[in-house]
Amino acid sequence: MKPNIMTAGYLDKKNQKYWTQVIYKRKEKLYNPIWQNYGHIQAIKKYIGKEEFEPIHSIIAFSSQSTFKFKENFKSAKVIQFPQLLKVIKEWNEIKISEFELKQINRALESLLVEDKKEKKRLQKQHVQSLKTNLKNQKVKEAESIKQNQCPKCGGELTLKKGKYGSFYGCGNYPDCRFTKKVS
């Protein structure tokens, strides 16, 4: 039995903000791992000072017990299961950087290591606080857009609609944009 099912809906899965994870009939949203990995890669490129650096590839690996509901491959990332990981890594088995560049990158990344437990904990708290602040700012922006009758996702006009669970605001660019917000 495969209890862990990963799905990204029915449209363009790469561009959806959230994917759905189903574990024993319980559905949970998870932030799109392709977007998340893209952010990590950009941060690494910026940190090592190589924004146009090509040999960094996006690989997202899930448990071998997971089942994917999407059939096509993604262009910007490989979404695979753990047993495929070595094979996928070997696909890029060509030397694209010099030994000197590799040593520079290693030095830059090693300087990021934090050994002190107190400092590590402080940095984690700071990171979580930063994420909360960003989320709060995003919600404020969204609320301001809604007050202006504008979709915070695509800028389309919001219209008041009625559904089986009550009234809500929906984007006028539906089905291209599926933004909705409950009426408070």
**Cis peptide bond prior to 33, omega within 30° of 0:** no
pTM of the model: 0.60
The predicted pLDDT at position 96 comes to 81
What tokens were used for 142? 């969204």
pLDDT averaged over every residue in the chain: 84
What is d(CA 60, CA 78) in angstroms, rounded to the nearest whole number?
6
Cross-strand bridge partners of residue 163 = 166
The answer on pLDDT for 14 being more than 80 is no
pLDDT band for 8, please (50, 70, 90 cuts). very low
For residues 5-21, average pLDDT: 61
The answer on pLDDT for 126 being more than 90 is yes
The answer on pLDDT for 11 being more than 50 is no
